[in-house]
Structure 1
Amino acid sequence: MEIRHLKYFLILADELSFVKASEKLFISQPPLSRQIKELEDELGARLFDRNSKKVELTEAGKYFKQEVTLLLDNLDRVKLKTQKIGNNISGEFRIAYISSTFSGDIAELIKFLSSKYPFVNFSLYEVPTARQISDLEQGKLDLGIIRAPLKSPKIATHLWFRDSFSVVFNKQLVQLDTEEDIEKLKEEIFVFFNKDYAPHYYELLLEICAGYGFVPKVVHESNNISSIIQLVKNGLGSSIVPTNILKSHNYSELGFIELKKGNLFTDVLIATPKDDDSEIAKAAIGFLLR
């Protein structure tokens, strides 16, 4: 059994059409049929039910697809890690962050690592939490900066810092002086992170508003903290953001009031693939936790 047999099988299992699968593989149908037949003969099991009208996976085929997908994903991870070990401390080191955590600290981290490892190309990406978790599990990222919760046996985490929440508003349009004034926002428009982009974070913001006795009127959504801040700055609504945002988005038009009621916090985590003994990752974690 060769890897190409498995890859051909997966393409056909996805397309369920010899015509479409052969076009995607840039081969004609007879060789594809022959490869699939060889695979079925070696396994001693029929993977597809096929006739002139349709192609379907058998129960054996469904199970085989699930296991082969995991196998090839793991093979990619092994390949990436082998390349990384072979490169030692040269090559590429990939760091991801979510937009609400980008700060001068991350810029200083890249500066520190570039100085310490001058032959390494440090790549920085803004990536949502769900995708970061997937990429870390597959070894496609070397270090991630995300918000809790993170539940994966394949990822190791360190608490970077715990952040409170603050309401942010346009001072020219909204008059708030103390935390007790927050209930005045119950009739105001809110700008939130997109629910599909950050579902846990979105629910947490709803919980905060409920603690102040209202359901927010969410009209605008974004998947980027800078966009949210700009919308608030331009008078298109108010928002609730991590307090740490004030460091990098301190505009004269904006007012911030920290929300202490309910004692709700958000944990920012440094995440790496579990059992990864990368010298660079250890140096990065040490720098951020200093």
Structure 2
Amino acid sequence: MELRHLRYFVAVAEEKSFNKAAERLYISQPPLSRQIKQLEEEIGVTLIDRDTRPLKLTEAGEFFYEHAIQILRKSDNLRAMTMRKGAFDSSLSIGFVSSILYGILPRVIARFRQVYPNIELKLHELNSWQQTQALTSGKIDVGFGRLLFEDASVRRILLREESLVVAVPLSHHMAQEQLNAQRIDVNLTDLTEERLLLYPKAPRPSFINYVLELFEARNLKPSHFTEVSELHVALGLVAAGEGVTIVPKTLEHLRNQEVTYIPFEDGLLVSPVIMNVRHFDKSELLKTLLEVTYQIYDEEGFIYQREQI
């Protein structure tokens, strides 16, 4: 069985016609039919019911189709990742979520450039799920995200757990209570009746899902929440008095003349900072990027557990 047999079968399964599949594959119909017949003989089962119009897959054919799709996808990803690896010595493509770019990532990139001044860096704003897809397709070499997704081809390095804080307008009663030393922190229960601004609206899953899961894990549900396009929109609306939002602590310098940031009780609510790399990718560039990140963590006094690529 060869990959071309899988591609032929998938085309027939999706087009439900040998003629249409042959057109899609740019081959003639008779040899395509022979290839599928040979595949069925090799496996020992009938995959396609040829007596129906349009063609239908047998139960075994449905099973074979699902697995053939996965094999072809992994094959295509392997090809793309290998091609990307060939260009790895001259450039490094980095994916990031916006909240990390507003944190220390610019310093990490600047220091990396000092070590490798001749390496071209390409930056791509991608959410955590998109980073997984971009790594397996070869679009990026490393990603900095906040959500964990299981994928056998991607390794997740937990850099640290970053505390979350609540951003409220200066006129908000919680800001006034903090100013008067009547309040030093908040908890999620305090936010269930607030107008909560969540971001980013798309693509999903995103930080919105993570925040809503924090409520759900505590059997809480926000009564009023609005989805907005991005972090800066959320903070702008907070400054305008339109609601409150939740952000990582390293962002509390943003709009700090208009917005007050209040920590959560005991600092228990956190957002992970995750470095995503392809499994088994142990290049010196990635090792240096990770080491530079840890250097800056040490300088900032961040608590973290060191890992190796």
Please tell me the TM-score bracket, short chain as reference. 0.7 to 0.9
Residue pair 1:192, 1:202 contacting (<8 A) in 2 also: no
Any unmatched runs of 5+ in structure 1?
none
Q: What secondary structure, in the 3-state scheme, does the structure 1 residue paired with 2:198 have?
A: strand
- When normalised by structure 2's length, the TM-score is 0.75
For residue 214 of structure 2, the aligned residue among 204, 207, 210 is: 204
Deviation of 1:273 after TM superposition, in Å, equals 1.7
Answer yes or no: is the 8 Å Cα contact 1:74–1:138 preserved in 2: no
Provide the residue aligned with 2:73 in structure 1.
73
Distance 1:202 1:23 in 2: 47
Structure 1 residues 142-162: Cα deviation after superposition (integer angstroms, max 9, x where no partner): 212122545455433333232
Give the distance between the partners of 2:292 and 2:127, measured in 1 at CA.
Answer: 23
1:198-254 per-residue CA deviation (whole Å, 9 max, x = no partner) reads: 3334211455794xxxx422331136323322332333321122222214x234221
Aligned to 2:165: 166
- Cα deviation for residue 35 of structure 1 reads 4.3
Distance 1:49 1:206 in 2: 47
Counterpart residue type for residue 170 of structure 1 = P
Q: How does 1:175-254 map to 2 (within 5 A)?
A: 175-176=174-175, 177=178, 178-179=183-184, 185-193=191-199, 194=201, 196-198=204-206, 199-207=209-217, 210=220, 215-222=221-228, 224-247=230-253, 249-254=254-259
Tell me by how many angstroms 1:262 deviates.
7.1
Where structure 2 has 5 or more consecutive residues not aligned to the other structure, the ranges are 296-309
Aligned mates of 1:19, 1:218 — CA distance in 2: 54
Aligned residues with identical type, % of pairs: 30
Q: Is the Cα–Cα contact under 8 Å of residues 186 and 264 in structure 2 kept in the other structure?
A: no
Are residue 105 (structure 1) and residue 113 (structure 2) matched? no
Q: Where in structure 2 are the equivalents of 1:65-144 lying within 5 Å?
A: 65-87=65-87, 89-90=89-90, 92-103=91-102, 105-118=104-117, 120-136=119-135, 140-144=139-143
Give the structure 1 partner of residue 304 of structure 2: none
**Structure 2 vs 1, CA of residues 275 and 57 (structure 1 numbering), >3 Å: closer, same or farther?**
same
Q: Which amino acid aligns with 1:233?
A: A
After TM superposition, the structure 1 stretch with the greater mean CA deviation from structure 2, 18-27 or 137-146, is: 18-27
The answer (yes or no) to whether the contact 2:157–2:276 under 8 Å persists in 1 is yes
Secondary structure of the 2:104 match is helix
Which residue among 278, 288, 291 is the counterpart of 1:283? 288
Which residue number corresponds to residue 263 of structure 1? 268
Aligned partners of 2:103 and 2:251 also within 8 Å: no
Find the residue that maps to 1:166 and give its secondary structure.
Answer: strand
Counterparts in 2 of 1:180 and 1:77: CA distance versus 1, 3 Å: closer
What does the per-residue CA deviation read over 1:93-132, in whole Å, with 9 as the maximum and x for residues that have no partner?
3222223322353223333444544554422222222333
Give the CA deviation at 1:47. Answer: 2.0
CA shift digits 1:75-97 (9 cap, x unpaired): 2333234334433512x432222
Q: Aligned partners of 1:82, 1:152: CA distance in 2, in Å?
A: 18
**Shift in alpha-carbon separation, 1:121–1:56, aligned structure 2, 3 A:** farther
One-letter amino acid of the counterpart of residue 156, structure 1: R
Q: Check whether the contact 1:100–1:224 (CA below 8 A) recurs between aligned residues.
A: no
Taking structure 1 as the reference length, what is the TM-score of the superposition?
0.79
Q: 1:85, 1:181 → 2: CA distance? A: 47
Contact 2:84/2:139 (<8 A) preserved: no
RMSD: 3.3
Q: Quick check: 1:179–1:257 contact (8 Å CA) kept in 2?
A: yes
In the comparison of the two structures, how many residue pairs are matched? 284
